[in-house]
Structure 1
Amino acid sequence: MPQPAKLPRGITRYRGRYRVRMTHEGRTHALGMFETLTDARAALDIARGDAVRDRFVPPSEHRAARKAEEVRAEAEAVTLREWCEMWLAGLEANHHRSRATVVSYRSVLKNHVLEDLGDIRLAALTTERVSEHLATLASRPSERHPGARVNGVAPNVVIVLRSMLNAAVKAKVGGLDAFDFPKSPKHRRVRPEDEQGEVATPEEVKAFTEAMPQRLRIAVPLAAWCA
């Protein structure tokens, strides 16, 4: 019975396949499992050639780099809409956060942000794009006060959108390490003063909300911020 050919150093037979290993700089590296001896020899020759040329990278490092790239790509695929849902869910789970506030935030984002910016990846969102969106909002006529110079929507969007993006930066979601939010549009009066007094400030709206019975609190921020 003929004796099996001696395998090259670095190649062993394991469960019907050829396992290839190579020692480099005092460490043994697994190069992989191959179906044929020809493929195993080729892998070993390539690795040895790379080692001679000082270009050898252990397969484990290749795998780690690929995994890191996959994680990075997955993180940077998060859209503004997806982060919006994660952020709002986090606020809803915070017992110290008013439910009325969360509902008003959700309404502002749904009605004035997501349709235009929702499908943009956080990693691709720019200061210029947000500034353009805010300018478009500010240019729309007021639905409640036809003929008014401003509609009062953009300043409310600024409050919510800035908070959401700041939270994304803090959590490093979507690969965001920083975001330069554009200069906020000046909050100008939508209608002139009348005998009923000035439009309520954000602090007054908050005070009104907290003064209402629990079951009616949601009405105040909805009326104030969502018209």
Structure 2
Amino acid sequence: MNRPHPPRRLARRLTQLYGGLLLYGVSAGLMVRAGLGLDPWDVFHQGVSERTGVSIGMVVNITGLLVLLLWIPLRQRPGLGTVSNVLLIGLAMDATIALTPEVTPLAARVPLMLGAVVLNGLATGLYIAASLGPGPRDGLMTGLHRITGRSLRLVRTGIEVAVLAVGIVFGGTAGVGTVVYALTIGPLAQFFLRMCAISGTRTGMDFDDRRRRGILRVRSRRSDRHPEPSPVDAG
């Protein structure tokens, strides 16, 4: 398989990074317009926005910056994607809310919410596959995982339950959209991550390695059932 030349690969990574971040903000804004519940962090952002009068997108940016400061004691290292995350997602979210009319019929809000969740999965796949640095909140999760020794799933669940609870108390919207997001975003992000993986990046190499191991396992099973006179996978 021909791999992209380094300049082309970098151009694709940057395109995926910024395209993913903008789409993430758009999807978050559409979730707000659907009004059926947000993901845990955005429930928190919306609650703080309700209490302070600051736009939800600005709260997203400020929260990202504050979370990024927590990386210092956790000894996490930001990348271009980390800084871009702090700057862009909130702006795209506010712009989407401003440009999208309010939707009232439930028959329109449900597909809007579902479409926003799928779009968020695509945005996540694009952004992660670019391999240019994790978002502030993901870095907080991995930093706490490394320091505490707890599983990533446990750390992530603890953080999201905490911000969700605070967001609900502050007036953020939790509902069926929150549940749909929680149940589907993992599989969606994994699906789009496979589609968007870039050869030569850490994410792309991970998938290439898994694919090779899968092929070797299949061939091993076949050779067990139908032994061949000479080894096929030497080297």
TM over 0.5: no
- Structure whose residues are more often strand by fraction: 1
The structure, 1 or 2, with the larger RCO (C-alpha pairs under 8 Å, 6+ apart) is 2
Structure with greater Cα Rg: 1
TM-score, normalised to structure 2, is 0.31
TM-score, normalised to structure 1, is 0.32
- Structure whose residues are more often helix by fraction: 2
